[in-house]
């Protein structure tokens, strides 16, 4: 019998993008685009593209993941997320979020529409509507990245949030770890690791952000101890100033100018 992987891990192309933010203040928010190679248990399985753009006063953040190799390609795995919102008095205010997940015969669509006048959010999943009260300021899975980015830019240690899920609003907690040097396709980069806090769980989510590249996440990991391990590694990055040119590797830096890269 063929055992297919847990769809949550197959589609962690989008799930692990919960940590794919960059680190600029909202006043300095600028468009960017990034491409990642996606690996499952060390084998290349897909790609993911993340873009942030501004149209008039509206900001749109989009992530598109697709299976390009192995079982993910055979099953036609695709996961698309899109969020839109605006900056109001220094804060990002989400207006709409949607996610479309497809895998062989599986097709799921859900969306969230924020009504800040009524302090509620309308969640629609496969045609079924649920209205949730916004007791706390809340974000969707994509604009969560923008909130984390803002706090990282301000060196704010508070990385606790309320996020709208398919059926409820749940608390999401993260913590920042000690900085470390990381070998990437863009060269040897000094990074700040961040991980999601889970209690009594074998699942993990971690991301490494490069302060020298506006805190863009250059590597992201998601999985389960003793189970599947998903990883995203950045391959291309386009900032407002242009495409990022790959630099030297960590070995070259260590033997060259003496810069520490451990």
List the beta strands (DSSP E) in 106-243.
Answer: 106-115, 120-125, 128-133, 160-164, 169-176, 180-184, 187-196, 203-210, 216-224, 229-239, 242-243
φ, ψ at 259 (rounded to 5°): -65, 135
Is this model's pTM higher than 0.85 or not?
A: no
Alpha-carbon distance 190 to 262, whole Å?
Answer: 9
Q: Residue 249, SS3?
A: coil
Alpha-carbon distance 223 to 19, whole Å?
Answer: 14
Per-residue pLDDT of 154-205, as tens digits, reads 788 889 999 998 889 999 999 999 999 999 999 999 988 899 999 999 999 9
Q: Which residue has the higher pLDDT, 92 or 51?
A: 51
- How far are the Cα atoms of 13, 28, 61, 143, 155 from residue 58, in angstroms, in the given order? 25, 15, 10, 13, 26
**Nearest to 54, CA basis, from 80, 81, 84:** 84
HSE (side-chain half, CA atoms, 13 Å) at 21: 24
The CATH number assigned to the domain holding 48 equals 2.40.360
Report yes or no on 260 lying in a domain.
Answer: no
Question: The tokens 């491409």 sit on which residue?
Answer: 35
Mean pLDDT within 89-97: 87
Report yes or no on 159 lying in a domain.
Answer: yes
Per-residue pLDDT of 140-157, as tens digits, reads 999 887 777 777 777 888
pLDDT above 70 (res 18): no
**What is the pLDDT at residue 262?**
52
Report yes or no on 138 lying in a domain.
Answer: yes
Report yes or no on 181 lying in a domain.
Answer: yes
Average pLDDT, the chain: 84
Report yes or no on 131 lying in a domain.
Answer: yes
Q: Which domain holds residue 251?
A: 7-255
Report yes or no on 180 lying in a domain.
Answer: yes
Report yes or no on 140 lying in a domain.
Answer: yes
User: For residues 42 and 69, is the Cβ–Cβ distance under 8 A?
Assistant: no
Looking at the structure of the chain, the number of domains it has is 1
Per-residue pLDDT of 35-44, as tens digits, reads 999 999 999 9
């Amino acid at each position: 019998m063929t055992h297919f992987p847990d769809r949550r891990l197959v589609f962690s192309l989008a799930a692990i993008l919960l940590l794919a933010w960059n680190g600029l203040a909202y006043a300095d928010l600028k468009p960017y685009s990034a491409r990642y190679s996606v690996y499952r248990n060390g084998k290349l399985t897909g790609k993911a593209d993340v873009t942030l753009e501004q149209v008039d006063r509206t900001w749109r953040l989009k992530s598109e993941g697709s299976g390009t190799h192995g079982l993910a390609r055979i099953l036609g795995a695709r996961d698309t997320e899109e969020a839109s919102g605006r900056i109001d008095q220094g804060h990002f205010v989400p207006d709409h979020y949607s996610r479309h997940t497809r895998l062989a015969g599986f097709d799921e669509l859900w969306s969230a529409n924020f009504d800040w006048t009524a302090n509620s959010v309308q969640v629609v999943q496969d045609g079924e509507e649920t209205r949730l009260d916004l007791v706390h300021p809340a974000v969707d899975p994509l604009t969560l990245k923008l909130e984390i980015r803002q706090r990282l830019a301000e060196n704010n240690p508070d990385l606790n949030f309320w996020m709208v899920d398919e059926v409820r609003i749940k608390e999401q907690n993260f913590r920042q770890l000690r900085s470390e040097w990381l070998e990437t396709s863009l060269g040897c980069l000094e990074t700040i690791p961040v991980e999601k806090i889970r209690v009594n769980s074998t699942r993990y989510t971690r991301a490494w952000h490069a302060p020298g590249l506006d805190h863009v996440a250059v590597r992201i990991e998601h999985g389960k101890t003793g189970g599947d391990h998903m990883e995203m590694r950045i391959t291309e990055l386009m900032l407002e100033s242009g495409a990022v040119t790959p630099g030297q590797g960590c070995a070259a830096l260590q033997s060259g100018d003496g810069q520490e890269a451990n």
